[in-house]
Structures are given as C-alpha cells and as structure tokens.
C-alpha cells in the first residue's frame, strides 16, 4: 500500500505561485463587485462575462502551478534532513553565527525564533555539512558522567559572543510562532475596507508560516533519528492540521510513525522459491504490534529525547499514541502508528484546499469564529471538533449552486489504478492528480459565502438529517445523535458523536446571530466612529466579539452554558472515550 503524503499547512514555498493567482483573483472579484454596484447591474454584462472566463482560466493555471502533494512532502522531508536546531544566546551575533557555521558548508536557509529561549533553524545545502558540524560538537563537560550520551541534531552554541547593542546590523528578527492576540486581530480587521479583505487578512495572520512548517518537519525528523535506532528505514511524517492546509500557528503537531517503507515488506516470492527472511517475533494482533512499538518509542523519547518532556504513553485508546511536549519548538506532540485512515483524511482536506482558495479562507474564518465563542476547544469534551467543523464547511460548499468543490464520490470516480486505496476494508480511493478535476463556474464572494454558511446551518434540519461530503447531500440519520457527520472513509462512524444537544443548540444560535450581524454590516462604513487610533469593529471583527454576539437585543437571549452543564458535558465525553477504549 502506498503511504499517504501530506504537506506543511503554510505551504508558503510551494504555493508562492498559487498565492499570486489568489491575490490577483481577489482583486479582480472586488473590482467586479464595485463595477456591478456602480452600474446597478444594468450594464457591463459583457465585461463581467469576459472577466469570469478569465477567472476560470486563473483557477486552472493555479492548480497546474501547485506542486503535487507527494512532491512537496518529499521536498520538506529532504530539507529537514539537511537541517539542525541550535539553542543560542538571545544576543548572539548573527554575522559571527553564520560565519562559524559556514565553515561546514553553504547555508541554504536559516531563521531565529523564541521558545523557552532563543533557537535557530539552519538548513545546509548538503547533508555532509550536517555531519561535519556534528563532528565538531562535544559532550558537555559539566557532570559529564551523569548525562546520557545521546547525540542528535539539537545542539547548543556556546561562547560565540554577543551582538553589539550599538550595531543595528547585528540584531536578528525572530519569526513568529504564535498568532496575534484576539484584541489586536479585531483592531486590524476593523481597518480593512471590505469583509473579503478581512477574511483574507485573518487567514494570512493565523495560518502556518513557511518557517513554522519547516520547524514541524524538522521535529519529525529529529524524532525519526530516535525511532531509527530500533526501526531502520522508518519514517515519521506530520499529518492533520500541520500539513492539510488549514493549520493555525500554535496548533498541535500530529505525527505518524510509518513503517511501510522498510525494505523487505510486501516483497514477492522469487521464482526460484528460495528466499531469505528476517527472524521476527509475533504478536496477537496488529493493534498489539502498534502498542508495543509505541511503548518502546515512547520510552526512548522519555529517556533520550532532548527537549521532550511530559511523555505519556496512551496505549489503550482507540488509536494508541504517545503524547509529549517538545520544548525547543514549543509544540505539543502526538505520535501514532498504523493510523492510515487519518493520513488519507489529511490528504483529502489538502486536495480540497488547493482546488479553490475560497475553501481555505472560509475554513480559517469559521474555525476562528468557533474558537472565539467556545464552539470548539483545545480539551476533550462535548464540543464540535475542528475536523467536524471543516467537514461542515466542505459540505456547505458542495451544496452551492453551482457547487464550488466536488463530492468525494466524484473524486473516487476520477481516480486511476495508482490511486486505489483500501484500508481495513474501507474504500479510501480518490484522485490525486489535481489537473483531472474540472470545477464548475462559481464566482461567489467570500462575504456572500460566509453569510450564507451561517444561514445554511441556522436552518439545517439537524434533528433528522446527516451530513456527508461523500454524497454531497443530506441523508437520513442512521443513529440517534444530536449531530451526525459521516466519516468520509469509515462511513459507519459519526465523527461528531461526542457533541451533545446543548452544544449543537449554541452553534445554531450563534449561526443565526452571526448571519444577522453580517447583514447589518452591509450598511456600515468601515472605520466609522473611530476614536483616536482605535477603529470601531465592523463586519468580521464584530463576529469575533463574544459579548457583541451574545448581546443582540433583536434576537432571543441565550445565556452561556452554566459551569455545571460544562462539567456534565466533559463527564459524558470521558465516559464515551472510556467505552471506545474498551471496544
């Protein structure tokens, strides 16, 4: 079975060309809106039709300009193998730093960031440079005997000298590894001239940066060095929000221990009938193998992994995992194995994200809105998860007229023989060649889509209908649950089974109120009512103010869920999780 690939969600390097198309397209759409408004839709029809045709051509060029998923995955991993992570003094002289490291070879890229101190990621042009640098490194002389002599590409730079405070050329700029505070975001959004521009700014401010994406792949590569001691030729890949195109700065790092690439697996019997094979221990089941493997890796990470703290081996969960914090990067990490369906889900979300830029913009906006109002949460409970929310956005875009993105069944029909994928009896097949997917002409603006997303789910028949992006249409609920969202691949599962009625009611109420707020924003003047340098929130900025949404007098008042109800929801979720673990 071909291992699933994924890419850094920032995708700044691979999407450089695509972003130019996206920006140009956004400007074009805004221009059309202004022309259309000024002419009161009475003239300019031919101009609009011509520009729409150009828009569709831009979309085609945009898809062709993006690298394939597998190509970007391989490129990111190769970059990580040529990189080192260095702890250094906050006043490190940048010129001396680069001069010292350049003795070992050409430096292709580097950047500084802060996380429990100052760190630098340095990518060399060749792997030999990394080997040369490691030969120079020494074991710390203090308490030498009490240290575990495990060598890694996480290094510390000592005695290089500090930057001269009077020399502005010596300073270095740290790359952000976290999103801007919500209050600052609201102010920045309030200065934009349209809701479309607000959505674009929010996405660009919150999405993973090029540097953060590189750092995620580097952490995976450092963990691979540990795992390779027991499982040579293994690989550790990021998946989920880190690589599907919808990741936010500060999000967790989900990693997958991939053992499928080890040579000798799936090898056919030679014609001679004679073959050599490894002596291997057997286990009772594939799950037992996964648990044993992760137990060993987890112990190694705990004992030998530099900067890895708080290691927990959660092996009895439905999907066994090792959880820990990687202090040098600041990431909370989850390492799993034999989680191929999740990898295919990552690949599918990535595919939808590159088909049309509006997909990513809308997902980012809805996720940020949901977090601002407590619809989603970073801890387990009865809340709607980011994955469920993303599926709801995709389903809404499939229900547009004409649809903006195709159904999963359609993507399966376009698949070739090389795309065939069946995992544990589940059909996970869909086309991987983006150029084979022909999209219908839909030029709706981001503002219109956001407003109608809220209207769509404010009136959705959750009491009897299920959401399915495989079919792209509502289906009768197969089970009794407040919210039913079909797992795209494991179709018998409900990915929102944890959501209770109270949380769903809050979601619907917020959709109703947010739709009303956006309609009011149509008559607002951006930046009106400013006092000094503080702009008045409007449009999307208003939606991110919880007190503003909750205090609309024209709507029915709904109080925030009491603490007792939240505790009850958490207990119910824990009970469901325990039942899943036992099963």
550 vs 566: CA distance, rounded Å: 18
Structure tokens at 25: 């397209």
Per-residue confidence (pLDDT) for residue 148, from 0 to 100: 81
If one compares 330 and 561, the residue with the highest pLDDT of the two is 330
pLDDT band at 266 (very low <50, low <70, confident <90, very high): low
pLDDT band at 178 (very low <50, low <70, confident <90, very high): confident
pLDDT band at 64 (very low <50, low <70, confident <90, very high): very low
462 has a pLDDT exceeding 60:
yes
Per-residue confidence (pLDDT) for residue 27, from 0 to 100: 40
500 vs 498: CA distance, rounded Å: 6
Across the range 496-518, mean pLDDT stands at 95
Domain boundaries, the chain: 73-170, 356-404+439-583
If one compares 444 and 575, the residue with the highest pLDDT of the two is 444
Across the range 190-200, mean pLDDT stands at 95
Per-residue confidence (pLDDT) for residue 18, from 0 to 100: 42
| Geometric angle at alpha carbon 257, from 70 and 354, rounded to 5° | 30
- In a 10 Å sphere around its CB, with 0-12 CB exposed, 13-18 middle and 19+ buried, how is residue 418 labelled? exposed
Q: How many residues comprise the chain?
A: 583
Mean pLDDT of all residues in the chain?
Answer: 82
Pairing of strands 83-88, 154-156: parallel
Q: Tell me: the pLDDT tens digits for 75-120?
A: 999 999 999 999 998 888 899 999 999 999 999 999 999 998 999 9
If one compares 553 and 549, the residue with the highest pLDDT of the two is 549
94 vs 163: CA distance, rounded Å: 7
Q: Do residues 238 and 220 lie in contact, with contact meaning Cβ atoms separated by under 8 Å?
A: yes
pLDDT band at 36 (very low <50, low <70, confident <90, very high): very low
Per-residue confidence (pLDDT) for residue 555, from 0 to 100: 46
Q: Do residues 80 and 218 lie in contact, with contact meaning Cβ atoms separated by under 8 Å?
A: yes
Q: Does the bond joining 402 to the residue before it have cis omega, within 30 degrees of 0?
A: yes
48 has a pLDDT exceeding 60:
no
Pairing of strands 422-423, 426-427: antiparallel
**CATH 2.40.50.140 at 73-170, yes or no:** no
pLDDT band at 534 (very low <50, low <70, confident <90, very high): confident
Task: Provide the percentage of residues in the chain whose pLDDT is more than 90.
Answer: 61
The angle that helices 210-227 and 286-304 make with each other, rounded to 10 degrees, is 100
Spatial CA neighbour of 473 closest among 367, 400, 404, 395 = 395
Q: Tell me: the pLDDT tens digits for 138-163?
A: 887 766 667 788 889 999 998 765 54
If one compares 336 and 141, the residue with the highest pLDDT of the two is 336
pLDDT band at 206 (very low <50, low <70, confident <90, very high): very high
580 has a pLDDT exceeding 80:
no
Q: Do residues 256 and 121 lie in contact, with contact meaning Cβ atoms separated by under 8 Å?
A: no
269 has a pLDDT exceeding 60:
yes
SS3 248: strand
If one compares 102 and 26, the residue with the highest pLDDT of the two is 102
Least confident of 425-434, 460-469, 471-480, 524-533: 524-533
Per-residue confidence (pLDDT) for residue 498, from 0 to 100: 94
534 vs 402: CA distance, rounded Å: 41
Least confident of 133-142, 392-401, 495-504: 133-142
Architecture of domain 356-404+439-583: Orthogonal Bundle (1.10)
- In a 10 Å sphere around its CB, with 0-12 CB exposed, 13-18 middle and 19+ buried, how is residue 73 labelled? buried
Same fold for the pair 73-170 and 356-404+439-583: no
pLDDT band at 396 (very low <50, low <70, confident <90, very high): very high
SS3 106: coil
Alpha helix positions (H), 474-527: 501-521
Task: Provide the percentage of residues in the chain whose pLDDT is more than 70.
Answer: 76
CA 119 to chain CA centroid, nearest Å: 23
């Amino acid at each position: 079975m071909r291992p699933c690939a994924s890419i850094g969600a920032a995708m700044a390097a691979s999407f450089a060309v695509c972003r130019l198309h996206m920006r140009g397209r956004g400007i074009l759409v805004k221009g059309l809106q202004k022309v259309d408004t000024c002419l009161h839709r009475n003239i300019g029809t031919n101009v609009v039709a011509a520009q729409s045709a150009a828009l569709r051509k831009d979309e085609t060029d945009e898809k062709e300009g993006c690298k394939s998923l597998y190509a970007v995955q391989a490129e990111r991993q190769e970059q990580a193998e040529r990189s080192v992570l260095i702890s250094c003094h906050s006043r490190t002289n940048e010129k001396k730093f680069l001069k010292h490291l350049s003795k070992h070879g050409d430096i292709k890229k580097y950047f500084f960031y802060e996380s429990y101190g100052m760190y630098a990621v340095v990518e060399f042009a060749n792997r030999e440079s990394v080997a040369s640098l490691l030969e120079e490194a020494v074991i710390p002389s203090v308490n030498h005997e009490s240290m575990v002599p495990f060598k890694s590409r996480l290094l510390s730079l000592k005695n290089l000298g500090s930057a001269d405070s009077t020399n502005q050329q010596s300073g270095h700029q740290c790359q952000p590894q976290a999103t801007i505070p919500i209050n600052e975001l609201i102010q920045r959004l309030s200065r934009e001239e349209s809701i479309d521009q607000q959505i674009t700014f929010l996405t660009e401010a919150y999405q993973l940066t090029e540097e953060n994406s590189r750092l995620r792949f580097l952490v995976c590569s450092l963990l691979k060095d540990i795992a390779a001691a027991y499982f040579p030729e293994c690989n550790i890949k990021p998946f989920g929000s880190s690589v599907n195109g919808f990741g936010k700065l500060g999000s967790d790092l989900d990693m997958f221990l991939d053992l499928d690439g080890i040579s000798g697996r799936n090898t056919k019997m030679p014609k001679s009938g004679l073959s050599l094979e490894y002596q291997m221990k057997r286990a009772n089941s594939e799950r037992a193998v996964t648990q044993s493997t992760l137990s060993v890796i987890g112990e190694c990470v705990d004992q030998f992994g530099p900067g890895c703290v708080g290691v927990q081996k959660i092996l009895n969960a439905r999907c066994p995992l090792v959880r820990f914090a990687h202090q040098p990067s600041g990431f909370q990490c989850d390492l799993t194995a034999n989680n191929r369906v999740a990898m295919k889900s990552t690949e599918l979300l990535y595919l939808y994200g590159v088909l049309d830029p509006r997909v990513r913009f809308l997902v980012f906006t809805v996720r940020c809105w949901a977090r601002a109002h407590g619809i989603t949460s970073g801890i387990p409970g009865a809340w709607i998860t980011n994955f469920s929310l993303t599926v709801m956005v995709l389903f809404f875009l499939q229900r547009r007229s004409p649809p903006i993105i195709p159904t999963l069944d359609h993507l399966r029909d376009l698949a070739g023989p090389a795309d065939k994928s069946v995992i544990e009896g589940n059909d996970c097949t869909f086309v991987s060649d983006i150029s084979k997917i022909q999209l219908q002409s839909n030029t709706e603006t981001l503002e219109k889509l956001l407003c109608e997303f809220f209207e769509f789910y404010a009136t959705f028949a959750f009491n009897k209908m299920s959401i399915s992006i495989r079919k792209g249409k509502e289906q009768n609920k197969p089970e009794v649950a407040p919210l039913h969202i079909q797992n795209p691949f494991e179709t018998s599962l409900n990915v929102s089974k944890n959501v209770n009625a109270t949380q769903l009611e809050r979601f619907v109420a917020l959709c109703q109120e947010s739709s009303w707020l956006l309609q009011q924003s149509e008559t607002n003047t951006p930046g009106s009512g400013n006092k000094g340098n503080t702009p008045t929130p409007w449009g999307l900025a208003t939606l991110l103010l919880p007190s503003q949404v909750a205090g609309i007098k024209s709507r029915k008042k709904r109080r925030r869920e009491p603490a007792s109800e939240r505790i009850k929801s958490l207990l119910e979720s824990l009970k469901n999780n325990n039942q899943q673990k036992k099963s």
